[in-house]
Amino acid sequence: MPHPLDSFFAPKSIALIGASRDIEKIPGRLLSMLRKNEYPGNIYPINPNYPDIDGLKCYASIVDVGVPIDLAIVIIPARAVVGALEQCAAVGVKNAVIISSGFAEEGGYSAAMQDQIVAIAKRSGMRISGPNAEGFLSEVQKVAATFSPTVDVKPGHVPLVATTRRIAIVAQSGGIGFAIKHRAKALGVAVSYCVSAGNESDLGAGEFLDYMVQDASTDVILLFIEGIRDVDKFLVAARRAAEVGKPVIVTKVGRSGAGERAAASHTASMAGWSAAYDAVFAKYGFIVSNDLDEAVTIAAVLTTSPLPKGDRVAVLTVSGGAGIWGADTVSMQGLRVPELSPAIQNQIKQWMPSYGAAGNPIDVTAQGVSSGGLQKTIDLLDTSDEVDAILVVLSLSSEVRMWFKEAELKPVISAQNKPIVFYSYTLPSLFARTELAKSGVVVLSGLTHVGVAMRRLVEVANFKLAPPAGRATLPLRDLSAHLQSATLSEFDSKALLRDAGIAMPDEMLVTARDELDAAVARAGFPLVMKIQSRDIQHKSEVGGVRVNITTKGEAFMAYGALLDNARKHRPDAAIQGVLVGPMAKKGVEIIVGTLTDKTFGPLIMVGLGGITTELFRDVIYRPAPVSAEEASAMLGALKAAPLLDGFRGAAKADVAALSRLISEVSVLAAQHAERIAEIEINPVLVHAEGLGVTIVDALVVRKV
């Protein structure tokens, strides 16, 4: 199936608006890069000041070209861009890249000019990238529509290519995008595309991601983003990537800039301002990396390796110390370095001197290399069912000597039985990189990054996209009657949740002393009593809670004390009454909540609950709604997960009931995103398996 952006990334004709003969300036470099990279289509320079440029006829205006144009590259002063785009639209240009700067990033009139660009795109159907973009590279189609020096072609230079699988780079910073491309190419990692999104007046990171997901020449995608503007398109593309199993590595910058989120609930106050992005990335199995070299290392491992069947790593080395360091590194990433069986050790010992080590890490020693022990051990481990991946740790600094023969190494790499990762503890020579590239090997030189990459490989292998939440799990109901007040008390919040279809404890609001007898009889002993007021958020701070009440006399005394405490601490508060209910049986304390993110909308959060919630901040966020299966996976990702699984002899908790509750709350938040800003249920007491959950306290915050 053709993609709408095929003519953007693989144009048959390009008009260069603002072309120049001066290759020291950006307009001149754009033409030079297109020609040096052997663009196979027709190029039409546009500039009224020249009759020709570099042997090509130059046109005064795009109107004068007279043939269909797939792509216009615009590099003229900002004030002239809108007029040029109007001309492009008039002659049916399909796509445009605006390199020119001086638009929304400057504000004022410049931002208004960008609004005009948006209007042209909508009116004409022309797809526009930029402004303030660095263009793109389509390496397979030989389209270097950028002035980046990283795409320059030096005479006689033979590029290093170790991988048959390719990476695509989508960046909201042109400089960083092409820097990723530059570093990847230096390692021998093949590139399919590198695109700079610029100001995203029309085409955004989400649509570019969508293109890379469906592109057959792209195997791994790297994203560098500051923020997502085309959210719906991004989420559709993210789901598609997860469904087809195409790995996405993402770096999200700007994690330290936003101010504190003003929030009524613990759920929102604990959310770092990038929590929503992290939640979306986790939902779709994106690999988050906050280091450029680490991201490229992960990409290198993904493009050279099959997915492992497990987390057992064999560390193979020619240096004992380096091997131990390698084993420590992967172990610290949570991978296992198991001792090999006596049978395998005995085989390996045949190929090394007596002072070698065969247990794992395996040190064949420098002497063992010369006898072929290194290659033979790789061959043996590659077909062994005792390990799932191999880390080869060695020195590759020599400019003349190579540890391997291509005829022996290439077949085992090509077989793709399991990941075989090569790390050089000395700076690898170009000779070594080039020779090993012939066998499909990328040589890596950052051990910590290698360890992270191998762990990420296991995570990709284990990732499963959760099924979508069925909205039918919670019927859509009109809750507007509960959202009339500016703020809601616990009683109001529980009434809303109950009417929404979420099971609540049987409680009664006592508004007068003579109602207390009936409430006590209904609740039974032991019971709990809590002051209710829309003006009192934290009841315990005003002495507004009494628990474990076991007699009617205690209940009447508690009633008076709760009212007195509230009047003393908050004399202006409007008191609704005292909520009387049964004392909940013991259980694991969990917090379940939702908040609304300005980019992605409602998020669901689950974590360790109770009074220590903000102390430990053991919480997991996901975009709402979530299915019960996804809720269960969220619970499994908590550090406190063992508490739900019968920790230290305790009964296993009712995770199924808790997962259903999390799903229901998430669906409620998604259904009423226009009216509800936050929901917090804290704590939820999770009882033993089969005994369900009890909602102890709840808060719903209305959107203002």
Q: Are residues 16 and 112 in the same domain?
A: yes
% of the chain at pLDDT higher than 70: 97
- Tens of pLDDT, residues 244-287: 999 999 999 887 654 334 444 444 444 556 889 999 999 999 99
Residue 107, pLDDT score: 75
User: Please, which residues bridge with residue 607 across strands?
Assistant: 591, 619
Q: Are residues 122 and 81 in the same domain?
A: yes
Residue 572, pLDDT score: 95
Q: Are residues 130 and 264 in the same domain?
A: no
Locate tokens 């057959």: which residue? 216
User: Could you tell me the pLDDT band of residue 156, with boundaries at 50, 70 and 90?
Assistant: confident
User: Could you tell me the pLDDT band of residue 461, with boundaries at 50, 70 and 90?
Assistant: very high
Q: Which helix (H) or strand (E) is 697 found in, with range?
A: none
CB 700, CB 497: distance < 8 Å = yes
Amino acid, res. 459: E
Instruction: Give me Rg for the CA atoms of the chain.
Output: 31
> Which of 109-113, 329-333, 602-606, 667-671 is least confident?
109-113
Q: Examine residue 492 and state whether it is found in any structural domain, yes or no.
A: no
What torsion do the CA atoms of 673, 674, 680, 684 make, to the nearest 10 degrees? -50
CA distances in angstroms from 248 to 174, 221, 489, listed in the order given: 19, 5, 43
Q: Examine residue 497 and state whether it is found in any structural domain, yes or no.
A: no
CATH number at residue 280: 3.40.50.261
Q: Are residues 577 and 594 in the same domain?
A: no
CB 456, CB 298: distance < 8 Å = yes
257: tokens are: 């800039």
User: Could you tell me the pLDDT band of residue 475, with boundaries at 50, 70 and 90?
Assistant: confident
Q: How far apart are CA 30 and CA 11, in angstroms?
A: 15
- Tens of pLDDT, residues 101-111: 988 777 778 88
Q: Are residues 564 and 669 in the same domain?
A: no
Residues whose CB falls within 8 Å of the CB of residue 321, separated by 6 or more in sequence, listed in order = none
CA distances in angstroms from 582 to 7, 167, 387, 496, 597, listed in the order given: 67, 59, 55, 20, 36
pLDDT at 665 over 90: yes
Q: Which of 250, 279, 304 represents a domain boundary (last residue)? A: 304
CA distances in angstroms from 137 to 12, 147, 295, 509, 659, listed in the order given: 15, 10, 19, 67, 46
Q: How far apart are CA 203 and CA 208, in angstroms?
A: 7
Query: Strand 575-582 and strand 527-533: pairing?
Result: antiparallel
pLDDT at 624 over 80: yes
What is the pLDDT of the chain when averaged over all its residues?
94
Q: Are residues 512 and 573 in the same domain?
A: yes
Q: Are residues 106 and 3 in the same domain?
A: yes
Instruction: Count the domains in the chain.
Output: 5
DSSP letter at 18? T
> Which of 14-18, 262-266, 538-542, 670-674 is least confident?
262-266
Mean pLDDT of 601-606: 96
Q: Classify residue 272 by burial, with Cβ atoms within 10 Å: 0-12, 13-18, 19+.
A: middle
687: tokens are: 């009882």
Q: Are residues 243 and 160 in the same domain?
A: yes
pLDDT at 551 over 50: yes
CB 531, CB 549: distance < 8 Å = no
Q: Which of 437, 462, 488 represents a domain boundary (last residue)? A: 437
CB 597, CB 276: distance < 8 Å = yes
Q: How far apart are CA 140 and CA 161, in angstroms?
A: 13
CATH number at residue 561: 3.30.1490.20
Residues whose CB falls within 8 Å of the CB of residue 481, separated by 6 or more in sequence, listed in order = none
Q: Examine residue 448 and state whether it is found in any structural domain, yes or no.
A: no
Q: Examine residue 387 and state whether it is found in any structural domain, yes or no.
A: yes
CATH number at residue 94: 3.40.50.720
Residue 273, pLDDT score: 61
Q: How far apart are CA 577 and CA 529, in angstroms?
A: 10
Q: Examine residue 486 and state whether it is found in any structural domain, yes or no.
A: no
Residue 267, pLDDT score: 47
pTM of the entire predicted model = 0.92
Q: Are residues 97 and 212 in the same domain?
A: no
Q: How far apart are CA 655 and CA 687, in angstroms?
A: 9
Q: Examine residue 31 and state whether it is found in any structural domain, yes or no.
A: yes
Range of the domain at 533: 506-583
CB 578, CB 532: distance < 8 Å = yes
Beta-sheet strands, E only, within 287-330: 287-288, 313-317
DSSP letter at 336? B
Q: How far apart are CA 366 and CA 347, in angstroms?
A: 18
Q: Are residues 127 and 158 in the same domain?
A: no
Return the closest-CA partner of residue 358 out of 339, 376, 371, 372: 339
Query: Strand 42-46 and strand 13-17: pairing?
Result: parallel
Q: Which of 566, 583, 600 represents a domain boundary (last residue)? A: 583
CATH number at residue 615: 3.30.470.20
pLDDT at 630 over 50: yes
Question: Would you give the distance in Å from CA 432 to the centre of its chain?
Answer: 34
User: Could you tell me the pLDDT band of residue 471, with boundaries at 50, 70 and 90?
Assistant: low
Q: Are residues 172 and 251 in the same domain?
A: yes
Amino acid, res. 207: E
Return the closest-CA partner of residue 295 out of 187, 149, 175, 438: 187
Q: Examine residue 488 and state whether it is found in any structural domain, yes or no.
A: no
Residue 609, pLDDT score: 87
Residue 643, pLDDT score: 93
Backbone φ and ψ of 392, nearest 5°: -100, 120
Question: Would you give the distance in Å from CA 450 to the centre of its chain?
Answer: 20
% of the chain at pLDDT higher than 90: 87
Q: Examine residue 190 and state whether it is found in any structural domain, yes or no.
A: yes
Q: Are residues 231 and 349 in the same domain?
A: no
Amino acid, res. 323: G
